[in-house]
Amino acid sequence: MNMKTLIAAALAAFALPAMALEVTLPAETAAYRPSDLPGYRLVQQNCMTCHSAQYVETQPQTSPRAYWDATVKKMKKPFGAPLRDEDMPAIVDYLVKTYGAERGSATPVAATPAAAAPAAAAPAANGAARTADALLGANQCSACHAVDKKVVGPAFHDVAAKYAGNADATGKLMQSIRSGGSGKWGQVPMPAFPQLDDEDLKTLATWVLSR
Ligand code: HEC
Ligand code: HEC
């Protein structure tokens, strides 16, 4: 799915009632579905650094093997996933049999408590303000960003420098974080975060600008 479809799907899922702003992704979409297929171990090792399994979960269930093959290749180039060529067929096999058109050709094993516990995705209790640290962890910002060096996305220090002196810097960054997109720092897109409410976005934007 491309960026526009992804955002549209996310908005459709999140934008309805005002209350829905509090919705965070259910835990089971953050981790990959357990399986006996060898590709399960490989996706856990290779696919969690930049984003959770949510993108995989949201692909059409009719997606054929060739689609998954193209997606995994795209993660390697241009997105930069450090995948070994010899591991890619097993990853594609796991994906198409677990999420795509060949579902049912392998019985996924029952979820283990470990697999069901994603990286600190638990939100604070409704209404409680979340700290920047908690938000960065829960949303995997740190998988793509560091303060002082470029990772997949720009160094937060460089973002703060670029927007220093810009009167509406906080508002601009809140918008950037909510909508994601590409072209401001390079060709690699940042995913959208429609599940973050204004308070969370402001906490994050203010934190980034103070780096
Ligand atoms: C180096 C970072 C990185 C790694 C590692 C990575 N991805 Fe991605 N992935 C991205 C980016 C960037 C996007 C695009 C986000 C967007 O379009 O909003 C993306 C999007 C996706 C999508 C959505 C469909 C699409 O084409 O945009 C799927 C599915 C996906 N990744 C699967 C995987 C799988 C499976 C792996 C492991 C084999 C993986 N990713 C590893 C960066 C990565
Ligand atoms: C999958 C990798 C990825 C994740 C996860 C990610 N980012 Fe980004 N981020 C990027 C990329 C790539 C860019 C550069 C986009 C561009 O060139 O326009 C970026 C840009 C930014 C910018 C600069 C925007 C601007 O207007 O100049 C900020 C601020 C930012 N990210 C904050 C965050 C925060 C906060 C999170 C977590 C809620 C986050 N990012 C999660 C990859 C990511």
Residue 188 CB–ligand 2 contact under 6 Å: yes
pLDDT digits (tens, 9 = 90+) for 137-160: 877 788 788 899 888 889 999 999
Determine if the peptide bond prior to 78 is cis (ω within 30°): yes
R_g of the chain computed on alpha carbons: 18
> Is 68 in contact with 96 (CB distance < 8 Å)?
yes
pLDDT digits (tens, 9 = 90+) for 154-187: 999 999 999 998 899 999 989 999 888 888 998 8
- Distance between CA atoms of residues 134 and 131, nearest Å: 5
Write the burial class of residue 202 (CB in 10 Å: 0-12 exposed, 13-18 middle, 19+ buried): middle
Does residue 34 register a pLDDT over 50? yes
Instruction: Determine the Cα–Cα distance for residues 77 and 107; give it in Å rounded to an integer.
Output: 31
Cβ atoms 208, 140 nearer than 8 A = no
Average pLDDT over residues 46-68: 91
Spatial CA neighbour of 194 closest among 173, 180, 209, 208? 180
Which atom of ligand 1 is nearest the CA belonging to 188? 12
42 lines ligand 1 (CB under 6 A): no
Identify the band that residue 2 occupies on the pLDDT scale cut at 50, 70 and 90: low
Any atom of ligand 2 within 6 Å of the Cβ of 152: yes
pLDDT, tens digit, 9 for 90 and up, residues 65-89:
999 999 999 999 989 999 999 999 9
